[in-house]
Amino acid sequence: MELIGVPGDIDNLPLAPESRGKRWREKASSFRRREGSGTFLAGLLLFCVMAGAALAAPLITDHDPSRNNITARLVPPSWDWSLTERDPKAFPLGTDGLGRDMLSRILYGLRVSLLLAFAGLCLSMALGVTIGMISGVFGGRVDAILMRLVDLQLAFPYIVLAMAIVAATKTSIPILIVLLGLAGWVYFARVVRGVVLQEMQRDYVRSAQVLGASRWRIGLRYVLPNVLPAIAIIATLQFPGLIIFEATLSFLGLGIQPPTPSLGGMMLDGTQYIASAWWVITLPGVAILLVTLSLNIISDGLRQLLDPRLQTA
């Protein structure tokens, strides 16, 4: 049973005891040498810059994102940053129809978007992973019922449901988080179930069964650690989806209510000026694009890093 890829032969890896730190360093350095790791790091950097700027918004701009300034309506972006230093009232990315500073609105909006999407992500992860694990580990009727639930949600246009819920209740942050959570859990549930089913067929699960381990134990101690990489990958894939979903809700006027800035809401405002002041709608869009793009790149890189099939060599 000789493989041509003998170097992958794990039998022959050096056996010297290794510290955790050293192993991570080795992992990291081997990752750097891997193809595509450059774009991954670029994505990570971009995301860190965007998220950092959003979180540090008060340090970057002095403007109050919700203060109107009728004298400075629809000021176009000015790339002359030196102006900012001389005049704290300058608007590097221009102003919107009410004379509010675009840069600060984008930063604060991004902050809200990221926090909302992250909270929604955590909720959908908790829900989806739990359901996927239960479905995969227990199988049978439980699995059938849970998966029909998934099908149901996938078959139903969720945005319509979300609109109905918002219309019936009244927009509030907790409701939005629940809506975002409910939007994402199906993907977690499906993928986790798939991976679990695959793992359940493996000999190590069978040998745990032979030892008398309960299903819960098998699920949590044996299978879950092998599902974690998949969860990390879906999380980075879902995150941008939720950001866009939040923006969509706001764009439809169902999300964060003014005057709290949100990227979707800003784009909604921008539709009025689409012909006269392009930046009002474009710049929030670019912000969404950059954040989601960076997350997608990170997700791709993560898959390469964590996929055990790519990792064996």
Partner 1 sequence: MAAEHVVVIEDLVKEYPVRGADDTVQLVALDAVNLSVERGEILGIMGESGCGKSTLAKVLLRLEPPTSGRVEVDSEDIARLTKSQAREYPRKVQMVFQDPYAALAPRMRVGAALEEPLAIHQIGDKPQRRQRVEELLALVGLDKSLAGRYPHQLSGGQRQRVNIARALALDPEVLVLDEPVSALDVSVQAQVLNLLREVHQRLGVTYLFISHDLRVVRYLCERVGVMYLGSIVEDGPSEAVFASPMHPYTLALLHSIPDHQAAEGGTVSFRLKGEVPNPIDRPTGCAFHPRCPMAQAICTLQRPPLRPVGGKRFSACHFAEDVPELGRQLAQEATVS
Partner 2 sequence: MSEQTQPRLAVRNLTTVFHTRAGRFVAVDDISFDVYPGECLGIVGESGSGKSVAALSIMGLVDYPGQIEAGRIEYAGTDLRTLSENQLRRVRGEEIGIIFQDPQTSLNPLFTVGTQLVDVVRAHRKISKSEAAALAIEKMKLVGISAPESRMKSYPWELSGGQRQRIAIAMALLLGPKLIIADEPTTALDVSIQAQIVDLLISLKNELDFSLIFVSHDLGVIQNVANRVMVMYAGRMMETGEVGSLFRDPYHPYTAALLASAPTLRTNRSEPLQAIDGRLPSPGKLPPGCVFAPRCQYVQEDCRVRQPLLESIGDAGRRVACIHPLIALPDEVHV
Residues that bind partner 1 (CB under 8 A): 1, 10-11, 13, 15, 17, 202-204, 206-214, 217, 221-222, 225-226, 308
The phi, psi pair for 170, rounded to 5°, reads: 175, 135
Going by the DSSP 8-state scheme, the letter that residue 65 receives in this structure is: T
Give the Cα separation of 222 and 199 in Å (integer). 9
Report the nearest approach of partner 1 to the CB of residue 209 (Å): 6
Alpha carbons 230 and 77: distance in angstroms, whole number: 42
The two tokens of residue 121 are 């992500």
**Minimum CB distance to partner 1, residue 232 (Å):** 14
Say which entry of partner 2, partner 1, none residue 155 contacts (CB below 5 to 8 A, set by partner kind): none
Q: Binding string to partner 2 for residues 24 to 63, with x set by CB under 8 A, is what?
A: ------x--x------------------------------
Residue found by looking up tokens 């009025």 in the block: 272
- Residue 303 CB, shortest distance to partner 1, in Å, is 18
Please give the distance of CA 310 from its chain centroid, rounded to a whole number: 23
Which partner, partner 1, partner 2, none, binds residue 221 by CB below 5 to 8 Å per kind?
A: partner 1
**Adjacent-strand bridge partners of 101:** 95
CA–CA gap between residue 82 and residue 92 (Å, rounded): 10
Closest separation in Å from C-beta 257 to partner 1: 46
Q: Residue 6 binds which entry of partner 1, partner 2, none, with Cβ cut-offs from 5 to 8 Å by kind?
A: partner 2
Determine the Cα–Cα distance for residues 222 and 273; give it in Å rounded to an integer.
57
Which amino acid is present at 91?
F
Site string (114-153) toward partner 2, x via CB under 8 A: ----------------------------------------
Token couple for 306: 């964590």
Task: List residues near partner 2 by CB under 8 A.
Answer: 1-9, 11-14, 30, 33, 313
